[in-house]
Structure 1
C-alpha cells in the first residue's frame, strides 16, 4: 500500500496544527459558529443529534494492522470503544468531544491517516472494488489509479469549494462492487480494439433526492489522460454547476440540464486546452505508484493446503457454510479472500469494537500480510488467506463474533445510523435492522432465498443507497411516527438500476412482516436458479404490491 513520503507527512502534520489552533480560537469565542462550521467540515467533523461525529478517511478502503490498532486505541481514549464503517469505506467515530478532535487527528497522523475532505463541498474519498488486485477476471488493479486520483484531489486548491460534494469510484474489471454508476464520476478499466487498457468514463450518477444512473461520456480514455480529463470535468462543473440551491447543485443536475451530448462537448473542449499540461501522466510516475501495490510474497506451497481444507469442509458443516458464503476466489492458487461480517445478529451493521479491531489487526498480521480492507457493504476483507489457514482463522473470527456466515444474504444489510445519531434522519434504522434480524435468523432459509441486497436509509439523502438495493427501505416521518417506504428491483452492480416504490409506506412494526410477504411472492414465482432481482425484473413489482397491500380478512 502507499506510504507517505516526507512531504506528505509534513502536510498532514501542518494541517493538524492548523486545525488545533482553529479549535482553540473557536472555543475561546474568537471564531463565530458559522465560520467554524466550514473549518470543522474540512476536517471531517459533523455535529450530530447527540454528539459530534468524526469521519476518518480510508483511501480506497485499504489499511494496515498498525492503522487498525491505532483506530482501536482512539476509540478507547476518545470515544465509546467502537467505530463504524461506512459505504464509502471510511470510519466514523460517533462520540468524540469537540475539544479533543485535534488530539485524535494528531494520533491519526502518526500512522498516516487523516480526516481531510471527508465532508464539505469538495472531492471526497475515492473508492474501489474491495477485491481489487486479486480477482481472476480483473483487467488491471485499480488501486494505483485510485492513489493517483487521491494525490491529485487532496487539498486541490481549485476544487476546495465546489457547488456540492463530489465522489469518484474506480473498478478494474467487468464486475462492479463499488457502485460506480451512482457516483459523480465512475471509471471502468476497459480494453479498446487495439487491446490497450484505458478507462470508460461515466458522469452524473448519484442518489439522494434525485437518484440517477451515470451516463457514459467517453467510451475509452487513454491512461495518461486520466487526470487531465478528470480536471476538465471538474472545471466544467465548478464553473457551471448551480450554487443557489444545494438540492440542485450536484453534477447530475448539470448533466441533466445540459443533456449528455452538450455536457460532453463542453468537457472535451476544456480537455483540449489542458490535455498537454503537466497533469498528463508519465509512464515513470505511473510505475512509481504501481510499485506501492506489488503482489505480496505468496507461499509457493500454499496449494498444498487445499487437501486439508477439503477434509475440514467435509467434517464441519458450520465451517463449510462460512466458506461458501464468506470467502471468494483468488487469482493465486491456494489462496482465498475472506469477508469478515460486521453484521452480527442484533448488532448495529458496520460497527466494530475496540477489542475486535485489535484482534483483527493481530489476525491480519498472522494470516493476511498485515492488510485489512473495508468494503462498500460495511464489512472487512482479508484478501490473501492461504487455504490451510482458513479453518483456524474461521475459529478465531467465530470467537470474536465476526464469522456470521451471511455475506450476500438478506441480513448482510447496508444500514445508515439513522435517527439514533444523525441530525438529518427522519426515522430510526437500527431498531428496524434488529427487527429484520430477529425475523430472519434461520441461515438455511436465508441460503434458500439466495443473494439479496437489502439497504436501509433513515432519510432521503440515501447514505445507505436504498435506491439501488434489491429491497430498499427508506424511513419517513409521518406526524412524528416512523414509517418506511419499500422499493424493489434496484442494483448497484454492473447491471445498475433504480428500485421502484411498491406502494404507501408501512409502519415500523410491519417492516419485517412486509419483507417476509415480499419473499413469499418471490419463492412462489421464481424459476429454477433465478435470483430475487431477476424475478422482480421478470414479473415486475405489481404481484408484490398486490400481496403486500391485500385486504386482511
Structure 2
C-alpha cells in the first residue's frame, strides 16, 4: 500500500499546524462559527445535531493494521468508543470535542492519515473496488490510478472551490463493485484489443434529490491520458456548473441540461489542448506507483482444502460463514473475507474500539497486515490463506464480528440519519435495526438470497437508497417521519435507479412493508436461484404495489 513521501509528510503536518491555530482562534472567540465553517470543512469537521463530527479519509478504502489501531485509539480516547464506516470508504467520529480535534489530526498524521478533502466543494476521497488486487475477475488493480488521482487532486488550486462536491470511483473488473455509474466520474479499468490498459470513462452519475446514471463518454482512454482527460472534464464542469443553485450544481445536471453529445464535444476540445502537456503520465511514474500496490508474496498452502473440509464438518457456523462471507481470490490457496459490521440489531457500519483493535490483530497475523473498507460499510481482509480461514473465523467470533450475512437482506447500508445528521428528515438507524431483527434467521435470509437493502434519512441519499434492490427513504410530512419504498435499484455494472412504488409508511409500518415485498418476491420468482433484482426486472412493480396497497396505482407521498 502507498507510503507517504517527504512531501506528503510535510504537507499533512503543515495542515495540522494551520488548523490547530484556527481551532484555537475559534475557541477563544476570535473568529465566529460562520467564519470558521469553511476552515473546518476543509479539514473534515462537520457540525451535526449534537456535536462536531470528524470524517477521516481512507483513500480507496485501504488500511494497515497500524492505521486501524490508531482509529481504535481515537475512538477510545476522543470519542465514545466507536466509529462509523461510511459509503465513501471513510470513517466518521460523531462525538469529538472541537478542542481535541487538533490532537486527533496529529495522531492521524503519525500513521500517514488525515481528514483533508472529506468535505467541501472539492474532489472527495477517491474510492475503488474493495477487493482490488485480490479479485479473481480483475483485469488490473485500480488502486494505483486512484492514488495518482489522489495526489493530483489534493488541494488542487484550480479545483478546490468547485460548484459542488465531486466524487470519483475506479474499478478494475467487469463486475462493478465500486458503483462507478453513480459517481461524477466513473472509471472502468480495462484492456483494449492490443492488450493495453486504459479506461472506459463515465460522467454525470449521482444520487441525491435528482438521481442519474452516468453516461459513457469514452470507451477507451489510454492510461497515460488519465490526468489530462480528468482535468478536461473538471475544467468544463468548473466553467459551466451552476453556482446559483446548489441543488442544480452537480455535474449530472450539467450533463442533463447540456446533453451528453455536446458536453463530450467540449471535454474532447479541452482535452486536445492538454493531451501532450506535462499532465501526460510517463509509464515510469505509473509503474512506480504500481509498485506500492504489489500484492504480498503468497506462498502455496495446498493444505487448505483438507483443513476447510474438516472444519466445516466440525462447525456449522463456520460452514455458513465460509459460504456467505468468503470469496474467490486470484490465488487458488487464498481467499478474500468480508467482515460484516451488520450484526443482528446493530448499527450498520459501526465498530467499537475493541473490535477495531481485534481486526487489526487478525489482519496482522493472517492478512498480510492489510484491511479494506467497502462502500457497503463492511471491512475486508483481501488476502487470507484458505488454511487460516477457520482461525480467522474463530477470532471474529470472539469479538462479535462473525455474522454470516454478506449480500443478504440484513447486510443493510444505512446513513446516520436523524440520530446525528443535521440534514436528515428521519431516522435510519432504528429502521435498519428493526429490519435486521425481523430477518435475523440466517436460514430465512439464505432462502431469500442476494438482496441489497439500503436506507437514507433524507433526499441526499448517503445511504444509497436509490440503488438498493429495496431502498428506503426517510422524509418528513406534517411534522412526522415517513418512509418511502423504492424497488429495482442497483449499483453494479447494470446500474438502475429504484422506482418509488407508492405512498410512504409510518416508522412502525416499514418493517412489515419490507416483509410484504419479500414475501411477494418469494411467491413470484421463477426459481429459488432467481435473485430479487432479476425477478423485479422481469415482472415490474405492479405485483408489489398490489401487495403493499391493494392497487397497482398507489400514489406516492
TM bucket normalised to smaller: over 0.9
Matched, 1:308 2:307: yes
Partner-residue secondary structure (3-state), 1:157? coil
Aligned to 2:409: 410
> CA deviation digits over 1:413-455, x for unaligned, max 9?
0000110000000001111112101211111010000000000
* Structure 2: segments with no counterpart, 5+ residues: 552-557
Q: CA deviation at 1:394?
A: 0.4
Determine if the alignment matches structure 1 residue 72 to structure 2 residue 47.
no
User: Once the 2 structures are TM-superposed, how far is the Cα of residue 34 of structure 1 from its aligned partner?
Assistant: 1.8
Instruction: Report SS of the residue matched to 1:474.
Output: strand
Write out per-residue CA displacement over residues 115-160 of structure 1, whole angstroms, 9 at most, x where no aligned residue. 0000000000000100111112211110111111110011111100
> In 1, Cα distance between the equivalents of 2:154 and 2:168?
13
Q: Identify the residue that residue 361 of structure 2 maps to in structure 1.
A: 362
Tell me, in whole angstroms, the C-alpha distance in 2 between the residues paired with 1:151 and 1:74. 26
Residues 1:200 and 2:182 aligned together: no
For residues 70-127 of structure 1, give each alpha carbon's deviation from its aligned partner in whole angstroms, at most 9, with x where no partner exists.
1111111110010000000000000001121111101100000000000000000000
List runs of 5+ in structure 1 lacking aligned partners. Answer: none
Structure 2 CA distance for aligned equivalents of residues 220 and 299 of structure 1: 35
Distance 1:323 1:480 in 2: 46
Determine if the alignment matches structure 1 residue 430 to structure 2 residue 429. yes
1:54 is paired with a residue whose SS is: strand
Which SS does the other structure have where 2:158 is aligned? helix
**In the alignment, is residue 388 of structure 1 matched against residue 392 of structure 2?**
no
1:335 matched to 2:334? The reply is: yes
Deviation at 1:487, TM superposition (A): 0.4
Residue 194 (structure 1) shift = 2.5
The alpha-carbon deviation at position 196 of structure 1 amounts to 1.9
- Residues 142 and 170 in structure 1, CA contact (< 8 A), matched pair in contact too: yes
Deviation at 1:314, TM superposition (A): 2.7
What is the alpha-carbon distance in structure 1 between the residues aligned to residue 537 and residue 323 of structure 2? Answer: 26
Alignment of 1:159-174 (within 5 A): 159-174=159-174
Residue 319 of structure 2 corresponds to residue 320 of structure 1: yes
- Give the corresponding residue for 1:210: 210
- How far off its partner does 1:303 sit? 2.1
TM-score (norm 1): 0.98
Measured after TM superposition, the shift of residue 33 of structure 1 is 2.1
**2:555 corresponds to:** none
Q: Which residue of 2 aligns with 1:106?
A: 106
Partner SS state of residue 55, structure 1: strand
Contact 1:138–1:172, Cα closer than 8 Å, also in 2: yes
Instruction: Write out per-residue CA displacement over residues 329-373 of structure 1, whole angstroms, 9 at most, x where no aligned residue.
Output: 001121111100000111110000001111111111100011110
- Find the residue that maps to 1:262 and give its secondary structure: helix
Q: Which residue of 2 aligns with 1:545?
A: 545
Query: Mapping of 1:91-490 within 5 angstroms?
Result: 91-300=91-300, 302-490=301-489
Quote how far apart the aligned CAs of 1:304 are: 1.8
Whether the aligned pair in 2 keeps the contact of 1:471 and 1:490 (CA below 8 Å) is yes
Deviation of residue 187 (structure 1)? 0.2
3-state DSSP of counterpart to 1:392 = helix
Taking the aligned partners of 2:67 and 2:193, their CA distance within structure 1 comes to 42
SS in 1 for 2:303: helix
> Helix, strand or coil for the counterpart of 2:495?
coil
Aligned counterparts of 2:87 and 2:440: Cα–Cα separation in 1 = 24
- Report if the CA contact (8 A) 1:470-1:533 is conserved: yes
Stretch moving more, 482-491 or 28-37: 28-37
Instruction: Please name the residue that 1:521 is paired with.
Output: 520
Partners in 2 of 1:64 and 1:196 — Cα distance?
31
**1:51-66 counterparts in 2 under 5 A?**
51-66=51-66
Are 1:303 and 1:335, in contact at CA under 8 Å, matched by a contact in 2? Answer: no
1:312 Cα deviation from its structure 2 partner: 1.1
Distance, in Å, in 2 between the alignment partners of 1:381 and 1:512 is: 29
**CA contact under 8 A between 1:169 and 1:186: conserved in structure 2?**
yes
Distance in 2 (alpha carbons) for counterparts of 1:531 and 1:405: 18
**How far off is 1:32 after superposition?**
2.5
| Mapped partners of 1:335, 1:343: distance in 2 | 24
* Cα deviation, residue 549, structure 1: 0.9
Mapped contact 1:236–1:267 kept (Cα < 8 A): yes
What are the Cα deviations for residues 226-285 of structure 1, in whole angstroms up to 9, with x where unaligned? 000000100110111010000000000111111000000000111111111111000110
What is the deviation of 1:550? 2.3
Q: Distance in 2 between matches of 1:194 and 1:355?
A: 50
Contact 1:16-1:102 within 8 A present in 2 as well: yes
Aligned equivalents of 2:431, 2:368: Cα separation in 1: 38
Q: Cα distance, 1:27 vs. partner?
A: 1.8
| Distance in 1 between residues matched to 2:541 and 2:309, nearest whole Å | 42
Q: Deviations over 1:7-30 (max 9, x none)?
A: 110100000000011111122222
The structure 1 segments of at least 4 consecutive aligned residues displaced by more than 3 Å after TM superposition are none
TM-score by length of 2: 0.98
Alpha-carbon distance in structure 2 between the residues aligned to 1:367 and 1:479: 53
1:193 shift after superposition: 2.9
Post-superposition offset of 1:192: 2.1
